[in-house]
């Protein structure tokens, strides 16, 4: 799931007082130092609407020419090396997302689609300390550690966008990944340490993504706001100036994510909404 674009000047000026853009897509913001690295983070992200699941990784250091990620057993998961001009100018931030396979048996899925159940995913990406390592241009080694947890957050539900307000409701499961019965079994068998209904949501992330004529390839027109998980009302008012700056008959998609202290996130999407409706949006349901 890609998010967190840069708001163009015409919209940024109109919304700077109300707009908070999260630091890292998906979603998730790593803000604490990671030993020799400025930042590092590993996390799980679930799309409850599509029923898919992915592993995300971030490391950010100074003047790097090599970087590596290892799992709790010491297995190397990722390694990169700068060459040529990049080695002369060095690397800083490396961010990647795994593929996001389906985590449920979708009857409408293509037979060739990869399916990785939640149980298989948690076995593949175990809880524990992941090591980040690198080497800078002076051959000095950098090391850091970050923890992955399988505490997964309940999916938002009942997304509505009306009169400039995005609203949603908490739920107590992960959507289709897996079913409620399968989720109960995973908890009972100790494969999932805590049921999502008992996991505290630290933040809600709300994204409104317009589908403009140019396809908005870099998310420049995206509105994104993060707010505390304990807010009394689960709703956000999108600035009127921002909406007015969008073209007539602009289809929009809404995403709401439940995010935890370790930055695991469960997102729900809903489209079919229309902004500045005159003749109606072609994609409107």
| pLDDT at site 109 | 84
Residue 14 belongs to what H/E stretch?
helix 9-15
Instruction: Please give the sequence-ordered ranges of beta strands (E in DSSP) within 123-249, or none if there are none.
Output: 128-136, 141-148, 157-162, 165-169, 203-210, 223-228, 235-237
The CATH number of residue 131's host domain is: 2.60.40.10
| pLDDT at site 100 | 94
CB 191 within 8 A of CB 119: yes
Q: CA 94, CA 207: separation in Å to the nearest integer?
A: 24
| pLDDT at site 177 | 87
Q: How many domains, in total, are found in the chain?
A: 1
- Nearest in space to 134 (alpha carbons), one of 75, 80, 58: 80
What does pLDDT average to in each consecutive run of 10 residues of the chain (285 residues)? Answer: 35 32 39 81 95 95 95 96 94 93 87 91 95 92 94 95 95 88 94 93 95 58 92 94 92 95 92 92 62
| pLDDT at site 213 | 64
**Residue 123 φ then ψ, to 5°:** -70, -35
| pLDDT at site 21 | 35
**What residue numbers bound the domain in which 86 lies?**
9-275
Residue 2 forms part of a structural domain: no
| pLDDT at site 145 | 95
- Nearest in space to 234 (alpha carbons), one of 169, 190, 188, 179: 169
């Amino acid at each position: 799931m890609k998010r967190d674009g840069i708001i163009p000047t015409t919209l940024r000026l109109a919304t700077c007082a109300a707009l908070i853009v999260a630091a890292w897509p998906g979603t998730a913001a790593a803000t604490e130092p990671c030993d020799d690295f400025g930042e590092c983070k590993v996390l799980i992200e679930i799309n409850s609407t599509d029923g898919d699941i992915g592993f995300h990784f971030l490391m950010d250091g100074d003047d790097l020419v090599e970087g590596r990620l290892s799992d709790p057993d010491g297995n190397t998961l990722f390694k990169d090396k700068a060459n040529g001009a990049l080695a002369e100018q060095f690397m800083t931030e490396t961010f990647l997302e795994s593929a996001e396979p389906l985590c449920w048996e979708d009857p409408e899925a293509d037979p060739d689609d990869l399916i990785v159940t939640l149980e298989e995913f948690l076995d593949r990406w175990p809880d524990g300390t992941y090591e980040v390592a690198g080497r800078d241009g002076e051959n000095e080694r950098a090391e850091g550690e970050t923890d992955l947890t399988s505490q997964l957050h309940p999916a938002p539900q009942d997304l509505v966008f009306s009169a400039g307000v995005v609203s949603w409701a908490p739920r107590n499961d992960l959507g289709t990944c897996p079913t409620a019965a399968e989720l109960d079994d995973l908890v009972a068998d100790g494969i999932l340490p805590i049921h999502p209904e008992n996991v505290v949501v630290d933040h809600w992330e709300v994204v409104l993504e317009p589908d403009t004529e140019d396809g908005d390839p870099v998310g420049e027109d995206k509105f994104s706001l993060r707010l505390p998980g304990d807010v009394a009302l689960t709703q956000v008012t999108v600035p009127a100036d921002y909406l007015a700056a969008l073209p007539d008959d602009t289809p929009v998609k809404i995403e709401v994510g439940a995010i935890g202290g370790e930055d695991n996130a469960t997102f729900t999407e809903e489209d079919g909404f229309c902004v500045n409706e005159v003749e109606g949006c072609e994609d409107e349901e």
